[in-house]
Structure 1
Amino acid sequence: MNSPITGTAAGVPFTALPPATGGPAPLIVTWHMLDAPRSDAAFAAALPMHDVPAWRVHLAMPMCGARMVDGSMDAGLALLREDPLMSVFHPFVQQASEELPAALDSIRAQLPVDDGPIGVLGGSLGGAVALRILADTAIPVFAAAVVNSAIRIRTVVDMFPGEYSYDAESARAADDLDFIAKAGTIAERAPLLVVSGELDDPPLRADAVSLVDAVGERAELLSVPGLAHPLADEPGIEPAPQLPLAHEVDAGLTAWFRRHLP
């Protein structure tokens, strides 16, 4: 297998995995979780999709991987304690999705990827980025997948201790990240695979089922027995051997993207 390629694309750190042939091929872009695996390199190791004949370019989320403050997640955890929605969830998803157009141009200048529609994949909060690319941009996408995704950000906020006090601004931010409400647009954009661990948090599981139902015939649900929310062991920052349950997810994603490759 070809070795990972690391670099930056318009300021965004990435870990790229070439197709087996190493030459020109379609592109799949991913965004990792804030749980383990919580860096682009660790996500690439957990879900490498080696048998997909495409470039897989794993982008770093804000304040993660090479963008961590002082080499740790402490600053991000402090923001979560301050205000999970307005300090982390909404700004991270907004920044990651708004970085994509320039990052795509840079990736295409650096790597032999074609200029056609891309695949998108996200895990947990990274799943919200992939869904936002579908719902709120015109970037051509040939297929999308999310794993244990944040689908309605209000659901994620409700999982934190205490009652969150919404004001007008935070209510708008939460509505912006409600992808069940945007299912009609998503259905028009690309086929969507929703991967949900059977041991993931029940509210996230319920949202996964609701999203597939709302999108309709262009969406499929892949339920993975025994899978909780993370895809790797802690601390989840450095690449680690693929766990057996992550291998099952990887196999499902591989089959999905192979089916829909241009």
Structure 2
Amino acid sequence: MITGTAAGVPYVALPPRTGTRLVLVWHLLGQPGTPQDMAATLPLPDVDAWRVYPALPLRDPSPDFLLDGYAPLVAEAADAVPDLVTALRGDLGCAGPVDVVGGSAGGHVALLTAVRGEVPVRRVAVVNPAVTAESVVEASVAAGFLPAYDWTPAARAAAAPLDVLAVADRLTAPLLLVRGEQEYPAFRPVQQRLCDAVPAAKLVDVAGLAHMLVTRTDEVGAEVGAWLTA
């Protein structure tokens, strides 16, 4: 496992056998919640590419969960991708289109990267991804992580750029969405709507998998690995 920093973003990387392709894999905010843990959980050993696990720019979510925490975190991570890819290509020698992978908030970053199109994306694989900021807030309230949330005009404005459903027609890369049987109820409908809106989408439900990626990881890794080697 290689550690480094590219364009100001810390990362860990797993080298390929012979390939030069680049796969970006963003971690969750829960478990696994660091690049090192995500690399250990989802190493994707059959994918002959540089597998790079960038760190999400963690923020203090107080006093406002969305305005001070989640929205700037996801936006900053997505904004960093073009410079990150350029730097990684120079540092690691990776070339060609990029595959993007992520779980939960990391999945949100992967989806935004794909719909923005600033970096050519070959394939997308997300596990229990966040798709809208509204569903993240709803899930956080339902799980007791957050008290009832006050949707101010500022919060609505911050949520709008994170709405992947609103720009799903821009997601032209093939999409794999791996969803746990015990996924957050607030996430399931928007995940389904996203797959329905993307012609080249495949939805895989994994029995026994909750939102956090702590069980059935071999099965999840096999699904993602097969998708990225197609």
* TM-score normalised by the chain length of structure 1: 0.82
Task: Tell me whether 1:227 sits opposite 2:209 in the alignment.
Answer: yes
**Alignment partners' CA distance in 1, 2:202 and 2:61:** 32
Aligned mate of 1:126, from 103, 106, 115: 106
> Is the 1:197–1:205 contact (alpha carbons within 8 Å) kept by the matching residues of 2?
no
Residue aligning to 1:112? 93
Deviates further, 137-146 or 42-51? 137-146
Unaligned runs of 5+ in 1: 64-75, 233-242
Q: Following the alignment from structure 2 to structure 1, what is the Cα–Cα distance between the partners of residues 170 and 157?
A: 18
**What is the Cα deviation at residue 80 of structure 1?**
2.9
- The one-letter amino acid of 1:207's match is V
Moved over 3 A (4+): none
- Cα shift readout 1:71-129 (whole Å, capped 9, x = no counterpart): xxxxx4xx335211111111001111111122112111111211x11000111001111
Verify the 8 A CA contact 2:24 2:54 in the aligned structure 1: yes
Say whether the 8 Å CA contact 2:82–2:118 is kept in structure 1.
Answer: no
Aligned to 1:209: 192
Across the aligned residues of Structure 1 and Structure 2, the Cα RMSD in angstroms comes to: 1.4
Matched, 1:13 2:27: no
Q: Percent identity?
A: 40
Match of 1:89 in 2: 70
Given candidates 196, 200, 205, the residue that maps to 1:218 is 200
Tell me by how many angstroms 1:56 deviates: 0.5
Structure 2-normalised TM-score? 0.93
Aligned residues: 225
- Unaligned ranges ≥5, structure 2: none
Secondary structure of the 1:82 match is coil
Amino acid at match of 1:123: G
Question: 1:139-168 CA distances to partner (integer Å, 9 max, x unpaired)?
Answer: 100001111111111011122243322222
Give the whole-Å Cα distance in 1 for the aligned partners of 2:203 and 2:164. 15
Structure 2 residue corresponding to 1:141, chosen from 121, 127, 136:
121
1:253 alignment counterpart: 224
> Does the residue aligned with 2:223 lie in a helix, a strand or coil?
helix
In the other structure, the counterpart of 1:154 is: 134
